[in-house]
Structure 1
Amino acid sequence: MRVLLSTIGTRGEVQPLVALATRLRELGQDVRLCAPPDFREWAERLGISFVPLGPELRSTAKPDSAMTKAMASPEGRRAMAEAMVVNQFETMPEAAEGCDVVVGGMALNIAAHSVAEWKGIPYFFTAYCPITLPSLHHRPPAFPGWAPKNPDAANPVLWADDAERWNEQWGGVLDARRKVLGLPPVDDVRGHVFTEEPWLAADSVLAPWRGPSALDVHQTGAWILPDHRPLSPELEAFLDAGEPPVYFGFGSIRAPEEIAKAMIGAARAHGRRVIVFRGWTGLSLIDDEPDCLAIGEVNQQALFPRVAAVVQHGGAGTTTAATRAGVPQVLVPRMFDQPYFAQRVRDLGIGTSITGEPSAESLTLALSEVLRPEVAERARQVGGEVRVDGADVAARSLMAAV
């Protein structure tokens, strides 16, 4: 069986599919990954066949990038959305050549289902967070520029409004490209992308699916990529030189202004050392004191169990990694699914979150909440409940279905 895995987005959207690809290859299946070119070297280093999709995204973490500026206006967002869909239809038909099934990750992977339909092969959609799928239990997540018509409306009304916005945003360009392939128009773009039986690649403890919903959701568990890379000698020496430090990182997203100064000041207020993950924003230290270390790409599975707390943006992948490591968390959510994970961390008693722009004062207060023995104990307890077999469940389900 040859599987095409396709996604757009940053590392949080790509890594779960890399985890699934790795497990499928271990089970003897042929896999091709279609994703932004930022991840080509990584995928090919793991032996995964790679097809670049769309432009490089690393620059989006910079406030002065052309893509960031274009996203600031409704016209710019619409032009980017249409160009994105056109690029998907130009790239994916060739990528799907010889494939037996298409798995689409990330909601904005608009073309994947249509390409599978054109090829006459099955298609599966997967979400990484429960609130991205329609349910009466929760509201739709917020997209940039997508304010609800009536924010106080009931959830069914908000989801109906959300479906209208999907049609307004992508219906025209989707139907135009489908016509080129000889396919009929789509009445419900969101339903077309999600299907009636989507998969949910999220841990059932951290992010449980809750209905009622018209969808038949298959929750597989989080797709976790096993990481056996050693920590660098510099990082090992830093960890061994004192008490567990506080980790700060915002992954692939743009970090708030002046965040490094606030982070380091908050940790020092508690007498804690600091590890700063540079990320795509390129965070840096504020001085040369030996209590701080800036790092690049790192094995979170090896690092997180050795820190006192993880302060991060609330992406699905980082939150799952920190929860699995059994370490307290402070979330600084910015958009989309991040507020949901901030709420879940609070509900589970394994950390807290900060609303709005973080400051040294708010971070200091948040750390005082999570650097308590009872929070650390609760985090260890919940961490022991996180399952790590989601990618295997999904791989075997896919093999059985195709």
Structure 2
Amino acid sequence: MRILFTAIPEKTIFMGMVPLAWALRNAGHDVRVASQPSFAGTITQAGLTAVPVGRDSDLFRTARMEPEALEEARAGLHSPWDVTEDPTRATWDHMYAGYYDMVEKGHKPENFPMIAGLVEYARHWKPDLVIWNPLTLAGPIAAEAVGAAHARLLFGIDVFGVAREHFLRLKEQRPEGEREDPLADWLGGYARKHGGEFTESMTTGHFTIDQFPASLQTEAPGLHYERTQFIPYGGPAETPKWLWRKPERPRVGITMGLSATELFNGYAHSTQDLLDALADLDADIVATIADDEKAKLKRIPDNTRLVPYVPLHALAPTCDAIIHHAGAGTLATVSRYGVPQLSVPHHFDEPLFARRLAEQGTGLALAPRDAGGENIRAHVLRLLTEPSFRERAAALRDEIHALPSPNELVPRVEELTAAHRSTTR
């Protein structure tokens, strides 16, 4: 089969797509990845074939310089996705306004630079399957234009599918003539431009590939999900020699992800306070800290090792506890190794993930406003000394390992592609 992955140029989201692309390639399928031209280097660095389409326009990097956009992102989920966290917010006015803003301020500027070029390439190459993430709606537009099957690949909690089901329920309750749908109108305009009509699958895919276990996920009851393991890929990396040796005392890892410094101008709490609070522990503290954040530190405790980056799948198995921001890739990687976790969530779906971990006893969670040094220290001591956290972390690890690997998912993807691909294309 010909399989076309497509993604807006956001590195952390793309990296979550790489293992499945490898699996499909290893099964003998022709796999290519389409994105904006400036992102081609990131794609080829992952050992995949890049297809530059459209023009460069990185909404995320533009928003990084706008304080209002930063504060909105840091506030967590907003309409319409906030109904995943609080279903009582699912009112027509709230959700309609949310979808309108999401289309105008998000989907349009994120996807417009790619749509024409992606459709042009799809007509040339004629993929059997298009795999897209929930922010890359250029994907279903191109797939529908050429009659290809298409699937969403989730990069976190399915706030998109859950919100859409709430909206459709409210829309059905509206009087005829008062059922405006900003997302359907926008996608439908492109569908008609390219010879088709809007179908609801353009919002959520013919099927959805979910990389997270059921205990961490929230699903939309009406959608078709195929679950697989999250396999860590973090880009080019080396395993340092100090990681070859087993630590002689407990090790606590600290990582707050790439987005905090690349998109949000720094961490949501004081790194200095965090390190100072752990300075007297009889433990090895390993913190992955961006160089510009390291430069802000006034002191580095004797029990602390600072590194700008280390592959998390190499660090996590050596740790007895890990402090992180509950980013999807970080959380999923740590969970694979049965390590208790302290989450200090930063934005978007991270508070939901942090709550899931705490509810199942796999870890603890603190809001950034509560993440002072003494609170951090007390929570880390609990993770290190109370056996129940490691027991529950081991149960989550086993739940993840029981899922099909990306390689094992390939036959099912082949079946679904055959079922949904147009026979008249």
Class of the TM-score when normalised by the shorter of the 2 chains: 0.7 to 0.9
1:304 match: 316
Cα-to-partner distance string for 1:311-347 (whole Å, 9 max, x where unaligned): 1121222111111111110112233321221122112
Q: Secondary structure at the match of 2:16?
A: helix
Q: Secondary structure at the match of 2:279?
A: helix
Amino acid at match of 1:232: P
Matches within 5 A, 1:219-234: 219-225=226-232, 230-233=238-241
User: TM-score of the superposition, structure 1-length normalised?
Assistant: 0.77
Which residue of 257, 262, 267 corresponds with 2:273? 262
Residue 249 and residue 174 in structure 1: after superposition, are their counterparts in 2 closer, same or farther (change >3 A)? same
Is the CA contact (8 Å cut-off) linking 1:127 and 1:200 kept in structure 2? yes
Is the CA contact (8 Å cut-off) linking 2:251 and 2:286 kept in structure 1? no
Amino acid at match of 1:391: P
Residue 70 and residue 304 in structure 1: after superposition, are their counterparts in 2 closer, same or farther (change >3 A)? closer
Identity percentage over the alignment?
18
Residue 256 of structure 1 and its aligned partner are, at CA, apart by 3.1
Aligned length: 376
Distance 1:193 1:31 in 2: 23
Q: Secondary structure at the match of 1:349?
A: coil
Distance 2:103 2:11 in 1: 21
Residue 231 and residue 266 in structure 1: after superposition, are their counterparts in 2 closer, same or farther (change >3 A)? same
Cα-to-partner distance string for 1:92-134 (whole Å, 9 max, x where unaligned): 1244331423433332222211211111221122324454254
Distance 2:244 2:304 in 1: 12
1:55 match: 57
Name which of structure 1's ranges 342-351 and 355-364 shifts more when overlaid on structure 2.
Answer: 355-364
Residue 50 and residue 399 in structure 1: after superposition, are their counterparts in 2 closer, same or farther (change >3 A)? same
Which residue of 104, 122, 125 corresponds with 1:98? 125
Distance 1:106 1:79 in 2: 18
Residue 201 and residue 157 in structure 1: after superposition, are their counterparts in 2 closer, same or farther (change >3 A)? closer
Is the CA contact (8 Å cut-off) linking 1:102 and 1:123 kept in structure 2? yes
Matches within 5 A, 1:17-32: 17-32=17-32
Does 2:408 correspond to 1:397? no
Which residue of 100, 111, 119 corresponds with 1:85? 111
User: TM-score of the superposition, structure 2-length normalised?
Assistant: 0.73
Which residue of 399, 407, 410 corresponds with 1:385? 399
Residue 101 and residue 336 in structure 1: after superposition, are their counterparts in 2 closer, same or farther (change >3 A)? farther
Name which of structure 1's ranges 348-357 and 319-328 shifts more when overlaid on structure 2.
Answer: 348-357
Distance 1:292 1:104 in 2: 42
Cα-to-partner distance string for 1:242-276 (whole Å, 9 max, x where unaligned): 54233232332434345311321232253443322
Amino acid at match of 1:274: I
Distance 1:245 1:384 in 2: 22
Is the CA contact (8 Å cut-off) linking 1:314 and 1:338 kept in structure 2? yes
Name which of structure 1's ranges 375-384 and 167-176 shifts more when overlaid on structure 2.
Answer: 167-176
Does 2:339 correspond to 1:313? no
Q: Which runs of 5+ in 1 are unaligned?
A: 142-154
Distance 2:276 2:186 in 1: 49
Amino acid at match of 1:396: P
1:6 match: 6
2:375 match: 362
Matches within 5 A, 1:2-401: 2-8=2-8, 10-35=10-35, 40-52=40-52, 54-56=56-58, 59=61, 68=70, 78-79=104-105, 81-96=107-122, 97-132=124-159, 134=161, 140=163, 156=166, 160=170, 170-171=183-184, 173-184=186-197, 186=198, 192-195=202-205, 197-204=206-213, 206-208=215-217, 213-215=221-223, 217-225=224-232, 230-233=238-241, 235-236=242-243, 240=247, 243-253=250-260, 254=264, 255-278=266-289, 282-284=292-294, 286=297, 287-357=299-369, 358-374=371-387, 375-387=389-401, 389-400=404-415, 401=417
Backbone CA RMSD of aligned residues: 4.0
Residue 209 and residue 177 in structure 1: after superposition, are their counterparts in 2 closer, same or farther (change >3 A)? closer
Distance 1:76 1:157 in 2: 13
Q: Secondary structure at the match of 2:364?
A: strand
